């Protein structure tokens, strides 16, 4: 997988639109490049663009990017911007893809939903769009977000800490680097689960001990007692029911006798109500007889009201007519005053419309002239803006006379500028200006070539000096190698002799038992000597062995030194070859640029051998001439605009004069503001008054006729009612009206009569039922026994029955409660056994991987991860140097120091702590581990784009050179794109191809790709 190109806009501090091509151009040719810039300039933003476009994730936020994250954290989108996007083009298995991510704010300043899509570049086919795009990217690339970051972004600094940390701290760092925190959480969860179950078991056991149950003897005793009580139950129950029945009959009899008394009282009350209602009942009967004449009375009353209403309408109409005639007269006077002539109702509207038309025509002409004046004034303002764009200020004025003075002054200034150029017309000036601009472009190219030549001269001098120093270094190192080889030959001989001597001495040491048997003045059984100098005093051999060990150690040191010098000579020879080739290329390039410089100087008639400052001075003079001619050109253009202004100024003056004349003419006839409104109001009032007066006259005729008809009908109805009064033997119509009740009163009387009848019927029925009930109760009741005796007998029977029921219930309840308690005990035992079974399982789990902090399982997993990581790291380390092999400390070593160990092949496979490595050696080992994590994370995915984050600050110049050579070798062999993020100045000089970020004064950063 290879990142080929990124595009983005308004991401973090990088405002505006940017594009970086990793596969083509300068970066594509170089392969190895540096990403440089101060802290906060946006180096990490480039990595954020990649992960945002592909996975909708960035390193600074530990979850997917959403609108909430953008609003709350305020990141990603550059401040004060409304849109942003990130786009990445990448290549997988020969196919190119483009993944796009973007978001914008709407008119309410709220964020819209993000847009994301994945496109196959060759066909333009949209593979996926929307929220599923990150998952599709992961499927095509073959890496999740976490794997992608570990595989492509190598954080050497984290592994530098990892190398020298003790076990617990090392595993915590490894956990953070790999993101494998879940194992620690699993360990903690196992510990918490085991502790929770253990507490539950304790609680269940405590609850079980608190449960109390009956013994078998207690249960038997209670069951026998219950059986005795149940056998006596029928006789006691029968006695209780009989006494209860007798007392209930007596109580019911007493109750019915009381009801009989109440019934008699209610009958007397009903009789009283009937007597009092007799008068109203007579009224109701009279009403029922005469109510058939209600309609005749209502019709008669209706005609009386109609006659009164018509009389009132006639009075009102006459009054309204007089008011309207007065209003009409007032409106006619107002109209006469408006048009300044006497008017009548018949011709008023026509004369008003003629006057309005005349005034409207004058106002229209007046407005047209005013608009023309404003138009010409605005034209002059527009010309003034055009002059302002050319550098000449012409201020706005409200009167033409004021404008003329400033116009004359400006015309003089423009004419002076034109005369300064010495040219007659704009065509001649444009031709000369074009010629100078071409010369300026040639001068700019000439200065660029001059700068390139100076840069190449410095580079050639530097490279030649480095080549001479390199040759001297190789010569000295080769002499040192020859000297060391001679020393090693001599040392080999000396060591061989010392080994033989030490072996001989060790043989003497093995004869110690024989020496103890030697006696003074007796011959030695081996050599026959009578003197035994070492019989009682052992010879001292340690000095020779120490000397042998020192020589062997010295031999290893000198051998390692030769190997180091040989590698240095090889490295320096390769460097010299590269410098030689570079000097040839630079010399060739120097000659080409020099030829181009001479040709450009010839076109300008400049001396190519002049210094850079002289050439820059010549170009400044050229620019000043161009500026002078450009000002003159603007003056020519301004002169043309002045002519247009003069023309518009005259038109403005004419339009203002015409406008004022028309206005004066109109004011003599009409000085108001709205002629249409005034004439319209008067016309409407006059028209409406004529219509209203005519309407009132018509209504007066109609109402008079209606009044006459109503009086006729009223007389007829009165004759009918007089006949009814006579026929019913009444004195007058008022007496008829008196005997007819209103419907509410008649209804109330009817309801009262019905209530009295219904009450009498109900009391009669109640009396009949009560007599039958009393007869039946007297037959059942024993009158010879008093109520007190019945009550006493009932109370005794009730006490016996209650005591029996309570005892039976108490014993039954206690037996039931004991049965439920036993069942609860059994359930507790089942739950306890299940918990103990779980406790055994979780105890085993806790013993293996559980603890309060999760260290046990995390350390186990991270130890396995470390073994795998060291295996991959050693493969990478072999590519860098064959000297070191990383290893994990043994159990014995861990008791003293549990830091990682290394085998030093150049020192006879000496095993020592990584803390003994130099800064440069530590960097190489940690870089190998960073590459190893990338190898593990990428699995079967071929990674062709890598970004290495810092760690170069600890290197000396020689190791830094070696590290960069390793990166160059890796990049060349695998055709990878390798980006190094760093602040180190020497690194910036060594890797000349750079993505350079610089912070601006407003907090925004800029990007430049340089070589």
- According to the model, what pLDDT value does residue 985 have? 61
- Using pLDDT thresholds of 50, 70 and 90, give the confidence band for residue 937: low
Instruction: Give the Cα separation of 646 and 558 in Å (integer).
Output: 100
Mean pLDDT to the nearest integer, 340-354: 81
Is residue 886 packed enough to be buried (19+ CB in 10 Å), middle (13-18) or exposed (0-12)?
buried
pLDDT recorded at residue 541: 42
Q: What is the mean pLDDT of residues 407-414?
A: 77
Kindly report, residue by residue over 567-580, the tens digit of the pLDDT.
888 888 888 888 88
Residues 629-670 have pLDDT tens digits of 777 777 777 777 878 877 887 888 888 888 888 888 877 877
Q: What is the mean pLDDT of the chain?
A: 80
Let me know: does 641 contact 386? Beta carbons within 8 Å.
yes
| Inter-residue contact 364 to 380 (CB < 8 Å) | no
Distance CA 861, CA 721 (A): 121
> Which residues have CB under 8 Å from 551's CB, separation 6+?
491, 494, 495, 498
pLDDT at 228 over 60: yes
Q: Name 957's Cβ contacts closer than 8 Å, sequence gap at least 6.
A: 986
Residue 952: which pLDDT band, with cuts at 50, 70 and 90? low
Do the Cβ atoms of 181 and 873 come closer than 8 Å?
no
Weakest-pLDDT range from 194-198, 402-406, 523-527, 539-543:
539-543
**What confidence tier does 20 reach under pLDDT thresholds 50, 70, 90?**
very high
CA distance readout (Å), 456 to 135, 584, 747, 807, 948: 50, 12, 128, 121, 30
Answer whether residue 520 shows pLDDT above 70.
no
Distance CA 542, CA 545 (A): 5
Q: In this structure, what token pair is assigned to residue 555?
A: 């031999």
Q: Is the pLDDT of residue 150 over 80?
A: no
User: What is the per-residue pLDDT for 527?
Assistant: 44
Which carries the bigger pLDDT value, residue 533 or residue 7? 7
Is the distance from CB of 91 to CB of 22 less than 8 angstroms?
no
3-state class of 200 per DSSP?
A: helix
pLDDT at 213: 76
For residue 912, the model assigns a pLDDT of 84
pLDDT at 604: 83
Greatest mean pLDDT range, 53-57, 142-146, 303-307, 355-359: 53-57
**pLDDT digits 0-9 by tens, 78-105:** 888 889 999 999 999 889 999 999 999 9
In this prediction, residue 119 has a pLDDT band, given cuts at 50, 70 and 90, of very high
Q: pLDDT by residue (tens digit) across 291-326? A: 787 788 778 788 888 888 888 888 888 888 888 888
pTM surpassing 0.75? no
**Mean pLDDT over residues 863-881, rounded?**
81
The CA distance from 203 to 690, in Å, is 106
Least confident of 20-24, 171-175, 690-694: 171-175
* Confidence (pLDDT) at 521: 62
DSSP assignment of 692-744, as one string? HHHHHHHHHHHHHHHHHHHHHHHHHHHHHHHHHHHHTT-S-HHHHHHHS--HH
Distances (CA, A) of 779 to 101, 610, 710, 773, 774: 105, 156, 82, 10, 9
Interatomic CA distance for residues 831 and 286, integer angstroms: 94
The SS3 call for residue 999 is: strand
Q: Is the pLDDT of residue 390 over 50?
A: yes
pLDDT confidence of residue 743? 81
Q: How confident is the model at residue 178 (pLDDT cuts 50, 70, 90)?
A: low
DSSP-H helix ranges across 291-347: 294-339
257: pLDDT strictly greater than 50: yes
Q: Is 85 exposed, middle or buried (CB count within 10 Å of its CB: 0-12, 13-18, 19+)?
A: buried
Each residue's pLDDT tens digit, 798-849 = 788 888 788 888 888 888 888 888 888 788 788 888 888 888 899 888 888 8
Of 61, 76, 20, 14, residue with least CA distance to 40? 14
In tens, the pLDDT along 727-756 reads 878 888 788 778 788 888 888 888 888 888
Q: Does the pLDDT of residue 685 top 90, yes or no? A: no
Q: Is the dihedral of CA 57, 62, 64, 66 positive or negative?
A: negative
Report the pLDDT averaged over residues 245-259: 79
- With a pLDDT cut of 90, the percent of the chain lying above it is 6
Q: DSSP label at 341?
A: S
- Spans of all domains in the chain: 291-344+674-739
Burial class (CB in 10 A: 0-12, 13-18, 19+), 895: exposed
pLDDT on residue 100:
95
Point out the least confidently predicted range of 85-99, 411-425, 550-564.
411-425
Instruction: Return the percentage of the chain with pLDDT > 70, whole number.
Output: 89
Cα torsion for 509, 510, 516, 521, to the nearest 10°?
-70
Strand order in the sheet with 901-904: 884-887, 901-904, 910-913
Helix axes 133-141, 145-152, angle to 10 degrees: 50
pLDDT tens-digit profile of 521-547?
A: 665 554 444 555 545 544 444 445 667
Residue 459, CB-side half-sphere exposure with 13 Å CA sphere: 19
Q: How far is CA 310 from CA 315, 941, 1007, in A?
A: 9, 109, 100
Cα separation, 156 vs 947, in Å, equals 10
| Among candidate residues 238, 258, 266, the one with its CA nearest the CA of residue 777 | 258
pLDDT of 54: 94
Burial of 772 (0-12, 13-18, 19+ CB in 10 A): exposed
């Amino acid at each position: 997988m290879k990142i080929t190109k990124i595009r983005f806009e308004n991401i973090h501090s990088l405002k505006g639109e940017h594009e970086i091509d990793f596969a083509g151009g300068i970066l594509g040719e170089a392969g190895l490049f540096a990403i440089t810039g101060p802290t906060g300039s946006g180096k990490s933003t480039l990595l954020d663009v990649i992960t945002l476009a592909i996975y909708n994730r960035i390193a600074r936020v530990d979850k997917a990017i959403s609108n909430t994250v953008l609003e709350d954290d305020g990141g990603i989108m550059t401040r004060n911007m409304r849109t942003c996007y990130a786009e990445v083009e990448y290549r997988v298995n020969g196919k190119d893809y483009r993944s796009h991510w973007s978001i914008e704010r709407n008119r309410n300043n709220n964020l819209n939903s993000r847009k994301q899509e994945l496109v196959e570049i060759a066909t333009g086919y949209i593979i996926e769009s929307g929220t599923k795009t990150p998952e599709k990217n992961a499927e095509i690339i073959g890496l999740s977000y976490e794997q992608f970051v570990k595989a492509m972004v190598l954080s050497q600094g984290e592994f530098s800490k990892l190398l020298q940390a003790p076990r617990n701290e090392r595993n915590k760092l490894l956990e953070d680097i790999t993101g494998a925190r879940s194992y620690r959480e699993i360990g903690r969860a196992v510990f918490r689960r085991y502790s929770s179950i253990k507490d539950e078991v304790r609680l269940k056991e405590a609850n079980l001990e608190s449960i109390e149950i009956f013994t078998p003897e207690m249960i038997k005793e209670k069951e026998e007692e219950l059986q005795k009580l149940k056998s006596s139950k029928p006789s006691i129950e029968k006695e209780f029911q009989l006494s209860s029945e007798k007392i209930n009959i007596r109580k019911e009899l007493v109750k019915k006798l009381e009801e009989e008394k109440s019934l008699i009282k209610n009958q007397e009350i009903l009789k009283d109500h009937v007597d009092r209602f007799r008068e109203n009942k007579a009224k109701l009967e009279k009403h029922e007889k005469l109510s058939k004449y209600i309609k005749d009375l209502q019709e008669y009353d209706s005609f009386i009201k109609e006659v009164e209403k018509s009389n009132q309408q006639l009075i009102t109409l006459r009054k309204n007519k007089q008011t309207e005639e007065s209003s009409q007269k007032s409106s006619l006077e107002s109209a006469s005053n408006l048009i300044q002539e006497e008017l009548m109702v018949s011709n008023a509207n026509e004369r008003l419309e003629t006057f309005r038309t005349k005034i409207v025509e004058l106002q229209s002409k007046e407005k047209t002239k005013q608009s023309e004046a404003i138009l010409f004034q605005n034209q002059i303002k527009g010309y003034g803006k055009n002059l302002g764009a050319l550098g000449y200020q012409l201020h706005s004025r409200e009167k033409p006379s004021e404008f003329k003075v400033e116009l004359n002054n400006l015309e003089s200034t423009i004419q002076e500028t034109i005369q300064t150029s010495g040219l007659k017309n704009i065509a001649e000036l444009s031709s000369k200006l074009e010629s100078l601009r071409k010369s300026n472009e040639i001068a700019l190219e000439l200065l660029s070539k001059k700068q390139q030549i100076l840069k190449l001269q410095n580079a050639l001098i530097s490279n030649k000096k480095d080549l001479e120093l390199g040759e001297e270094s190789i010569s000295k190192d080769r002499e040192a190698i020859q000297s060391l080889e001679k020393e090693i030959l001599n040392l080999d001989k000396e060591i061989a002799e010392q080994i033989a001597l030490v072996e001989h001495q060790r043989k003497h040491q093995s004869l110690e038992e024989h020496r103890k048997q030697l006696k003074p003045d007796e011959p030695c059984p081996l050599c026959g000597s009578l003197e035994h100098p070492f019989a009682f005093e052992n010879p001292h051999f340690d000095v020779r062995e120490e000397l042998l060990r020192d020589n062997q150690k010295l031999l290893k040191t000198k051998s390692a030194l030769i190997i180091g010098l040989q590698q240095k000579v090889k490295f320096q020879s390769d460097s010299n070859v590269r410098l030689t080739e570079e000097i040839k290329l630079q010399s060739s390039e120097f000659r080409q640029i020099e030829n181009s410089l001479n040709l450009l100087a010839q076109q300008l008639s400049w001396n190519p051998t002049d210094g850079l400052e002289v050439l820059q001075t010549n170009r400044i003079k050229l620019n000043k001439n161009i500026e002078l001619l450009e000002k003159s050109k603007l003056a020519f253009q301004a002169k043309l605009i002045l002519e247009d202004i003069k023309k518009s100024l005259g038109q403005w003056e004419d339009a203002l004069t015409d406008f004022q004349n028309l206005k004066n003419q109109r004011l003599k006839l009409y000085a108001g503001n709205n002629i249409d409104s005034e004439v319209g109001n008067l016309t409407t009032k006059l028209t409406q008054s004529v219509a209203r007066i005519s309407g009132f006259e018509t209504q007066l005729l109609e109402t008079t006729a209606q009044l006459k008809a109503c009086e006729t009908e009223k007389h007829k109805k009165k004759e009918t009612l007089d006949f009814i009064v006579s026929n019913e033997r009444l004195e007058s119509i008022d007496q008829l009206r008196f005997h007819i009740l209103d419907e509410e009163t008649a209804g109330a009387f009817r309801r009262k009569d019905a209530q009295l009848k219904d009450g009498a019927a109900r009391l009669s029925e109640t009396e009949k039922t009560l007599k039958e009930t009393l007869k039946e109760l007297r037959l059942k009741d024993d009158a010879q026994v008093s109520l007190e005796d019945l009550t006493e007998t009932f109370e005794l029977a009730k006490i016996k029955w209650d005591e029996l029921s309570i005892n039976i219930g108490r014993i039954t309840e206690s037996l039931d409660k004991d049965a439920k308690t036993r069942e609860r005990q059994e359930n507790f035992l089942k739950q306890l056994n299940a918990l103990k079974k779980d406790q055994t399982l979780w105890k085993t789990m806790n013993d293996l991987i559980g603890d309060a902090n999760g260290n046990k399982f995390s350390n186990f997993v991270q130890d396995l991860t470390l073994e795998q990581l060291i295996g991959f790291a050693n493969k990478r380390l072999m590519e860098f140097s064959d000297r070191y092999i990383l290893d994990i400390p043994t159990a014995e070593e861990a008791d003293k120091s549990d830091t990682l160990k290394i085998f030093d092949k150049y020192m006879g496979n000496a095993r020592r702590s990584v803390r003994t490595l130099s800064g440069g050696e530590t960097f190489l080992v940690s870089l190998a581990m960073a590459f190893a994590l990338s190898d593990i994370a990428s699995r079967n995915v071929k990674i062709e784009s890598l970004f290495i984050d810092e760690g170069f600050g600890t290197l000396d110049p020689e190791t830094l050179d070696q590290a960069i050579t390793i990166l160059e070798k890796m990049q060349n062999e695998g055709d990878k794109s390798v980006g190094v993020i760093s602040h180190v100045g020497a690194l910036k000089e060594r890797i000349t191809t750079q993505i350079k970020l610089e912070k601006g004064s407003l907090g925004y950063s800029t990007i430049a790709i340089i070589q």
